[in-house]
Amino acid sequence: MAKRLFEDLVTRCQQEGIIEGSNVAIDSAALRAYEKKQPKRKSEQTGNANWGAKIDSFGNKITWFGYKIHLAVDTKSELPIALEVTPAHVNDGEMAPGLIEKTASRTSTRFFILDAGYDQMKVYEAARNVKAQAIIPLNLRGEKEPPAGMTSNGTPCCSMGYAMTYWGVDGDMHKFRCPHATGKVDCPLGMAACSSSNYGMVVKVNAKDDLRRYSIPHRDTKRWKELYNERTSVERCNSRLKTYLTADAAHVRGIQKVTTHQYLNAIVLLASALAVSHHSKRAAA
């Protein structure tokens, strides 16, 4: 019942222009359990609260016994569009494809924005399957060297080893130019080493060749960084659920009751946004 009401309110917020849904940020947050703590192996058998661990923004490892709330949030309104609750040990990347699919069924999302913890091929594929782009920083820990003649972010290198200059996109094709021709580097051989053209050497890369390494917009461009900065919207949504509501203070046991509790918190956010919108419209009338 709570889930149905939540979904109805999301639709209502969309109809009234509160939720846009073109850019959506996804992240998870820890929820401490009201249950008595148990060993990890025993907890995994119940499907309820379990032990979780993550690295915080300061690089510290934190652990907790309980659950995770996984949220998909509209970056413009900072309101939730979809949510899931899992035991704390469930990997974030396992939940992202489902949240992407749920969100896409309700909105026309162009970009899904996630942190480096979601840097998994299945997340990029899930976004592409709904005709959207995943904006995720590459997690280079443990990664092998990038393909020969390529930087880690998918930029081709010229014959002298310099990263080429990004020169825009045409459909799925990224265009890169000689860095000497564009004034980015002072190559000792000039442009002649790579091309006889005054325009300099040009390399085109199909973004579909590697959904993870290539992105539209291209990684490290101003537009890509602007989109990634919108990820903080989901952090603020999580903070409101915990600070002003009772997301992390649920006095109920079991994942079904905890999930209902989280839906009720999300319902309060959506209903409050609708109330503020109606009040503003009446005041302006």
CA-nearest of 234, 203, 186 to 24 is 234
Q: Are residues 10 and 91 in the same domain?
A: yes
Is residue 216 situated within a structural domain?
no
Does the residue 80 lie in any domain?
yes
DSSP 242: H
Which pLDDT score, from 0 to 100, does residue 238 have?
A: 95
Distance of CA 228 to the CA centre of its chain: 8
User: Is 219 inside a domain boundary?
Assistant: no
> Per-residue pLDDT averaged across 155-171, rounded?
91
Position 170 pLDDT exceeds 70: yes
- Residues 49, 171, single domain; the answer is no
250 falls within a domain: yes
What is the CATH classification number for the domain harbouring 243? 3.30.420.10
Residue 143 pLDDT greater than 70, yes or no: no
Give dist(CA 33, CA 250) in Å, integer: 8
pLDDT (mean) for 83-97: 96
The reply to whether 103 and 168 lie within a common domain is no
Q: Which of 127, 94, 95, 98 is nearest to 113 (CA)?
A: 127
Query: 131 with 68, same domain?
Result: yes
Q: How do 23-32 and 61-74 pair as beta strands?
A: antiparallel
Q: Are residues 160 and 265 in the same domain?
A: no
Identify which of 93, 141, 100 has the alpha carbon closest to the alpha carbon of residue 115.
93
Strand, coil or helix: 140:
coil
> What are the structure tokens assigned to 261, written together?
């509790």
Task: Give the C-alpha separation, 177 to 181, whole Å.
Answer: 7
Q: What is the mean pLDDT of residues 97-102?
A: 97
Question: What is the pTM for the complete model shown?
Answer: 0.91
Preceding peptide of 217 cis, ω within 30°: yes
Tell me the per-residue pLDDT of 31-65, one tens digit each, with 9 for 90 and over.
Answer: 999 888 878 776 666 778 999 988 776 778 889 99
pLDDT at 192 over 90: no
β-sheet bridge partners, residue 176:
166, 203
Q: Is the separation of the CB atoms in 213 and 247 below 8 Å?
A: no
In a domain, 9, yes or no: yes
93 and 20 co-located in one domain: yes
Q: From its phi and psi, is residue 33 left (phi > 0), alpha (psi between -120 and 50) or beta?
A: beta
Q: Do 41 and 126 share a domain, yes or no?
A: yes
Q: What residues have CB less than 8 Å from 127, skipping those under 6 apart?
A: 100, 112, 133, 134
DSSP annotation of 194 = T
Tell me, yes or no, whether 198 lies in a domain: yes
- Domain presence at residue 88: yes
Domain that holds residue 177: 155-208
**Burial letters 167-199, b for 16+ CB under 10 A, else e:** bebeeeebbbbbbbbeeebebeeebeebbeeee
What does the pLDDT read at residue 236?
97
**All residues at 6 or more sequence positions from 189 whose CB lies less than 8 Å from its CB, including other chains:** 160
Same domain, 167 and 270: no
pLDDT tens by residue, 205-263: 999 988 999 999 999 899 999 999 999 999 999 999 999 999 988 889 899 999 999 99
Q: Is the pLDDT of residue 136 over 80?
A: yes
How much is the pLDDT for 44?
66
Q: What is the pLDDT of residue 267?
A: 97
- Same domain? 161 vs 118: no
User: SS3 of 231, please?
Assistant: coil
Domain count, the chain: 2
pLDDT tens-digit series, residues 118-131: 999 999 999 999 99
Residues 93 and 190 in one domain: no
Domain co-membership, 41 together with 110: yes
* 94 assigned to some structural domain: yes
Rounded to whole angstroms, how far apart are CA atoms 257 and 265? Answer: 13
Select the more confidently predicted residue: 56 or 271: 271
Q: 83: helix, coil or strand?
A: strand
Residue 54 is predicted with a pLDDT of 83
Q: Are residues 50 and 9 in the same domain?
A: yes
Distance CA 132, CA 128 (A): 5
